[in-house]
Structure 1
Amino acid sequence: MALTRRTLVAAGLAAPALIGLGRAAQAATTLKISHQFPGGTIDEGDFRDRMCRKFAAAVKERSKGAIEVQVYPGSSLMKTNAQFSAMRKGALDMSLYPLPYAGGEVPETNIGLMPALVTSYPQAMAWKSAPVGRKLTEILLAKNIVLVSWVWQAGGVASRERPLVRPEDAKGLKVRGGSREMDLMMKAAGAATLSLPSNESYAAMQTGACDAVITSSTSLISFRLEELSKSLTSGRGRSYWFMLEPIMMSKTVFDALPKDQQELIMAVGAELESFGQEGAQADDTRVEQIFGKAGAKVETLDEATLGKWRDIARDSAWKDYAAKSSSCAEMLKLAEAVA
């Protein structure tokens, strides 16, 4: 085709638009969010996976495609225990992660599963705006982690044989507690303990390496522990096992984003907290139905039994945690102040 003045002018007018389009494409950001739980869809499956997918969809829509979040369930992107350290280094963008799994690197995070410290959802959800929540946020920021969305879950006990309800039931059992502090309480009650992520619980129970698994109601369901259990101690109503399992983000990655995208991520995270809490509480009821249907005996804790566990926890786990550092002692004091 012959080049005329008209075609050259047209090409010149089109060039800025094409350059602008290329810049827009380059400006698009892809974030990867990893978690250890079974994958599903935005409408079906483990609520924690669904929460991540809802987060991804909302961020993409409201950023008009400028941010895309890819969800990697089942530790398919990265092994469970490596995720926190990877976020700190900027090697992983985001994770929905059980906070006390980070206790080996940041001891203060073990407050996120301190036995019998948090015993109800209203108490748990009050942390975010309380001094304990502000201090925890500051500690994580100093370790290069941004806390994006707060999620608390109650937990229960799945037992292969005899129930684990009262402290005296623990003697002689091999128990997975979920945190160092939970293990300390169980040891003080006479149990042996083993440390492993919840996604390895089924294999541990199946082989007999573990007699009882304490984990969130959702994990009890998602990891199909009713197939191996004759007893369930439900966390519905009250529990000595409440875990903070938030969506977190690498501060290195967060800081590299424009301010409007940072604000969008934090806004979506906050808005999804109600979905997370509703999902956790719904599973506290559903786990009883699933285990009961499978033939397991279902029991709950009364206030007197919870008080016995609290007494043991205070003399073992709480005492040990507070002795770690002045920072841990302050965290515990602030947490106790949340009624």
Structure 2
Amino acid sequence: MSAIKRRSFLGAIALTPLMSFQSVWAQGTTLKISHQFPGGTIKEGDFRDRLCHMFAAEVDRRTKGGLKFKIYPGSSLMKTNAQFSAMRKGALDMSLLALSYAGGEVPEANIGLMPGLVTSYEQGYSWKNAEVGKELSRILLDKGIVVVSWIWQAGGVASRTKAIIDPADAKGMKIRGGSREMDLILKEAGAAVVTLPSNEIYAAMQTGAVDAALTSSTSLISFRLEEVSKSVTTGRSKAYWFMFEPLLISRAIFDNLSKEHQAAIMAAGADLEQFARQAAQQDDVAVAEIYKKAGANVVDLDDASVKKWQTIARATAWKDYAAKNANCANLLKLAEKLL
């Protein structure tokens, strides 16, 4: 009996001791999808939660009910930073997660939030079929993770005070970066870095523990940061960082599925990438509208500003990342081919 079916079988027996063997199997398999973002529906809310609902419905349809899903938004199943490790162990089935959160456990993962390395959606989405994407997928597979949907998001900066456009603007401020590499460029710019997941930014800004925070456009909206911000730097025109935030499945779980169910998962995941890209770009624009309505100062980046951040990144974050191990050095080299 496979690990998944064994888990479903034992759970069902524990709940209803008299249930027959046949009726347990008739229920099919239900997988859990965990993420940190606000919950919604298949039609409304944070597009990352919507994508999970769309994925669940599509795989259910393709497998004729053989695979079903239960979605746990808002870190309601487990803490954000525990999800990657749990998937590696087979204790969590799936997650839509910023890959950089896994950087402490798998250093290679930090390439998913490397400042200055991805500067457009076209470039980011080209990774999947390029050498860098294939190598990253291989490394993650070796670590027990399967990439189901490639999702990239541009990011901005919400600030309680002044707008952060050039590196000089960050000096003396307490800023949440989101990854080791982002923290390195912020430190070089003279900021004091604060480490916390995006779903904790609001409280930190509200209390003054954080002056500003870098996060995706969608998170700038979903976590209502306009309520605690006086300025925002958007990613709608230019951006010096893009976040890789894929839909992932535990290899231990995936390998125990039938070939037909595996194919349904991967096909549905690929089909949703276009939706994710369009939704992310729409949020890049929506950020400006929402923050302006809230009375915040809205600014955009230009090529000169992006170049300043990229120059710092090359000398700090890129150098530090490449020195981690041979895999990191190779991934960086392959990614630079797409610049």
TM-score range, shorter chain: over 0.9
| SS of the residue 1:157 aligns to | strand
User: In the alignment, what sits opposite 2:145?
Assistant: 145
Q: Distance in 2 between matches of 1:22 and 1:329?
A: 52
Structure-to-structure mapping, 1:105-116, within 5 angstroms: 105-116=105-116
Structure-to-structure mapping, 1:83-232, within 5 angstroms: 83-232=83-232
Look up the equivalent residue of 2:234 and give its one-letter code: S
CA contact (8 A) 1:184 1:316 kept: yes
Cα deviation code 1:63-98 (max 9, x no counterpart): 111110111100011110000000000000000000
User: In the alignment, what sits opposite 2:26?
Assistant: 25
Note the residue ranges of structure 1 that are not aligned, 5 or more in a row. 1-18
User: In the alignment, what sits opposite 2:249?
Assistant: 249
Cα deviation code 1:7-27 (max 9, x no counterpart): xxxxxxxxxxxx99747505x
Q: Distance in 1 between matches of 2:269 and 2:42?
A: 16
TM-score, reference length from structure 2: 0.93
Percent identical across equivalent pairs? 65
Cα deviation code 1:177-219 (max 9, x no counterpart): 1111000000001100011000000011001010001000000
Note the residue ranges of structure 2 that are not aligned, 5 or more in a row. 1-19
| SS of the residue 2:243 aligns to | strand
Structure-to-structure mapping, 1:245-284, within 5 angstroms: 245-284=245-284
CA contact (8 A) 1:103 1:109 kept: yes
How far is the alpha carbon of 1:324 from its aligned partner? 0.8
Structure-to-structure mapping, 1:34-73, within 5 angstroms: 34-73=34-73
Q: Distance in 1 between matches of 2:262 and 2:21?
A: 23
Look up the equivalent residue of 2:213 and give its one-letter code: V
Look up the equivalent residue of 1:194 and give its one-letter code: V
How far is the alpha carbon of 1:48 from its aligned partner? 0.1
CA RMSD of aligned residues (A): 1.2
TM-score, reference length from structure 1: 0.93
| SS of the residue 2:298 aligns to | strand
CA contact (8 A) 1:120 1:237 kept: no
| SS of the residue 1:311 aligns to | helix
Aligned length in residues: 320
Q: Distance in 2 between matches of 1:338 and 1:134?
A: 14
CA contact (8 A) 1:100 1:179 kept: yes
| SS of the residue 2:156 aligns to | strand
Q: Distance in 1 between matches of 2:163 and 2:70?
A: 40
How far is the alpha carbon of 1:62 from its aligned partner? 1.3
CA contact (8 A) 1:108 1:327 kept: yes
Structure-to-structure mapping, 1:321-336, within 5 angstroms: 321-336=321-336
| SS of the residue 2:240 aligns to | coil
CA contact (8 A) 1:198 1:215 kept: yes
How far is the alpha carbon of 1:241 from its aligned partner? 2.0
| SS of the residue 1:69 aligns to | strand
How far is the alpha carbon of 1:244 from its aligned partner? 0.3
